[in-house]
Amino acid sequence: MKIDRSILSEEDYQKLVALNNPKVMEIVETYANLCEPAKIKVITDSPEDIAYVRQLALEQKEERPLAMEGHTVHFDGPKDQARDKKNTRVLLPKGKKLSKHINSIDREEGLKEILGYMKGAMKGKIMLVRFFSLGPKNSRFTIPALQITDSAYVAHSEDLLYRQGYEVFQKLNGSPEFFYFVHSAGELDENGNSKNIDKRRIYIDLEENRVFSVNNQYAGNSLGLKKLALRLAINKAVYEGWLTEHMFIAGVHNLDKTRKTYFLGAFPSGCGKTSTAMIPGNTIVGDDIAYIRLNEKNEPHAVNIERGIFGIIKDVNPVDDPLIFKVLTTPREMIFSNVLVHDGKPYWTGMGIEIPDRGINFQGEWYKGKKDENGKEIPPSHGNARYTIRLEDLENVDPMLHDPNGVPMRAIIYGGRDSDTSVPIFQTFSWNHGVFIGAALESETTAATLGQEGVRKHNPMANLDFIVVPLSDYLKAHFKFGKKFSKPDLVQIFSTNYFLKDENGKFFDDKVDKKVWLTWAEGRIHGEYDAIETPIGYIPKYEDLKVLFDKIFQKEYSKEKYEKEFAIRITKWLEKLNRVEKSFESEENMPQEFYDELNALRNRLLAAKEKYQAEIIPPSSFE
């Protein structure tokens, strides 16, 4: 092995030798020589090795201890607080084409640039060599993942978020079939944050199943196993005949707790994904990423590739999020990032209790009214402040979390933020119809984030940021997957919209009402409810919703409200179809099924408009 043995102890060298994997050896050797660390530390699955990483994060001051046992806080630099979409690129070999939405760079040019930035990037630092398992161990879902990083915070975060995988690599018997990720925070400033943010780069190499990330610390850019691995897995799944999706997995229980049905759900940011996964009375398998494969009976099963949550902490409070809030305020191993700290305690916007007037946050010393260089008032905690916990710490974690066979998938929900078009919930007519509805997913921006409310963004399957293959190939993979099912109706697909507004601009529904829509969908799968057939799909009957609102919330659900919010808004739907068709017009080799479903839905809407001579048709008209 051509590494300066003064930086690699005999013990750590033997940990690598024990894997009997030439590719692992080659990778460690290559990036040790390129990045020039002062020391290499190889981490196995042993408690001692894992404890070393956590302690190192404290010693290097990447994390600071808080007053509560096990709690630590990490601060990213002021300009390193979110995913860097501009500088996250796919390395594109000559002669290959990708969809217009995919940010790419010539492969040779990109490799030259990022490897140049990585030259000597770990000088004076410790290179950590980590091994993880994406998905449960010893499973057909398992994808081994090798992480090299000089950030103990990154390595510690991955201990909370992923299953240890050194033994998984031992069982590879020398196979080169694994993902790998090379990260360096680069040169650090006086606060221990990445200094050269202008040279922040995250480059995805699909040819080699690897990702390079340099000059950053924010977890969305630095944790290879999260959204970076998601991109590699989407590429792998599309061409191998399975699915990798940006979806939660939840066990939805019927009201008397005698049955559990597994739902997956894809929602763009800010559209209710986490709150749907965490509905009281249900159990959670995962909140972010799912692998979906068929078993030997051609039945789809899904796993959460993670074992933890890297969640947005803003507005987590004891009323809306009691289970998560309890975890965040009791002793356990967990990491806060970019919150306010005062007297060793973390505080964040919307937590439901009074926040101190001063403390330490992501930009240093903070006091109420402090302004940034542009004269804008600095909030006590960053809007993208986070918490990192293990799923097992939640009281509602599903017992099937680590099952190597996954959970049987019976339903998918696609949900967006839509103020004026779709109903709170409807069921699609078929798998193909459901795939089209997922492909047509849109979401409105909010005034709080972009300064202009109601701008619709097209986001197929809530996965657009991470799709690294042509959209046509991605959709073909979905249509093909459903054709393999042992029964055509094995999986039901639903669409939800929690953000429909009335004529006065007020939301029709309360936040918690989603439990009614989900309970109806679960019962619908098992034949407990009839439905009304409309041009867009099957909608609930008023009588069933009235009973569910009474049983779940002991509140009245009026027929007048039902008639308004479950009305089919013909013109708005036709406008949506026009937008979706235009969005896909530049895609080559689109699957015919997509246009079959688009045209069928458009024709059903036009026929209803002609029949009822109306732009908005109440549900009672279709009964």
According to DSSP H, which parts of 388-534 are helical?
A: 431-439, 447-450, 471-483, 514-525
The helix or strand, by DSSP H or E, that contains position 90, with its residue range, turns out to be strand 88-92
271 is catalytic: yes
Q: Which of 249, 271, 412, 617 is catalytic?
A: 271
What CA–CA distances, in Å, run from 260 to 228, 407, 410? 32, 11, 10
How many helices, marked H, and strands, marked E, lie in the chain? 18, 33
CB 400 within 8 A of CB 139: no
Strands (E), 380-520: 386-390, 407-415, 425-427, 442-444, 456-458, 492-496
Coil, helix or strand at residue 261: strand
Q: What would the two tokens of residue 202 be?
A: 């995250």
Q: Which of 156, 149, 157, 155 is nearest to 126 (CA)?
A: 149
* Rounded distance between C-alpha atoms, residue 360 and residue 382, angstroms: 12
Can you tell me the distance from the alpha carbon of 376 to that of 297, in angstroms, rounded to the nearest whole number? 59
Radius of gyration of the chain (CA): 25
CA–CA gap between residue 525 and residue 516 (Å, rounded): 14
What is the distance of C-alpha 344 from the center of its chain?
A: 30
| Relative orientation angle of helices 107-118 and 22-35, to the nearest 10 degrees | 60
Q: Return d(Cα 92, Cα 232) in angstroms, integer.
A: 14
Q: How far apart are CA 22 and CA 182, in angstroms?
A: 17
Neighbours of 463 (CB within 10 A): 20
> Which residues are CB-neighbours of 329 under 8 A, at least 6 positions away?
68
Active-site residue list: 271
